[in-house]
Amino acid sequence: MLTQFARAQAKQLLDAVAMFFHRLGLTPNTLTLIGLGLVGVIAVVIAAGYEALGAVLLIFGAGFDATDGSLARLTNKVTKFGGFLDSSLDRYADGILMLALVWRGIELDNRWMIALAVVALIGMFLTSYTRARAEGIGLELKEGWFTRLERMLVLVLGLLATLVIGQTGLIIALAIIAVLSNATAVQRILVTRRKLGE
């Protein structure tokens, strides 16, 4: 999974940034809330038509989003509520970003952008829900072809591509996210069935 590889490679940097925030007196849950606020700002930037700037800010935001977990581990403040809060606000962040793209689609009178953003959002939520539901019945479910890091990477590339090929780049990115997110949700359903032996 790309997420595990990326975190392993960026561990030292994330730890250093996390300790910087710790010295400022910030807690992991505070970082999680600030991260959601940052995504809200990014969504407004994208909805206003500054897709490439939104992409750059998303790169920064993704790194910021990863620091709350690092800070929790480094300061021995890993809690069940912290994990729950982080996961819940990640879903809000996904929804806010797709809402920005729906808004952009309305502004551009682009029905494909609107439809793909909605289908992508369904896939995003189901990818997360299937894992949470499996864990709720006592299974570990980390399998998944296309998780949050992959989705954000494709979205960033699609936003940047608007500089070269216009909105077509964003449409392609949304189509990839829509298809692969929903495929990952189906994959997790099948994996769960196999693990349950049914």
Which residues are part of the catalytic machinery? 90
DSSP 76: T
Residue 129: half-sphere exposure toward Cβ, Cα within 13 Å: 10
**What is residue 197's three-state secondary structure?**
coil
CB-count burial class (<10 Å; 0-12, 13-18, 19+) for 23: exposed
**What is residue 15's three-state secondary structure?**
helix
CA distance 173 to 114: 13
Residue 130: half-sphere exposure toward Cβ, Cα within 13 Å: 23
Sign, CA torsion 181/54/169/9? negative
CA distance 40 to 36: 6
How many residues appear in the chain? 198
Q: Are 175 and 116 in contact (CB under 8 A)?
A: yes
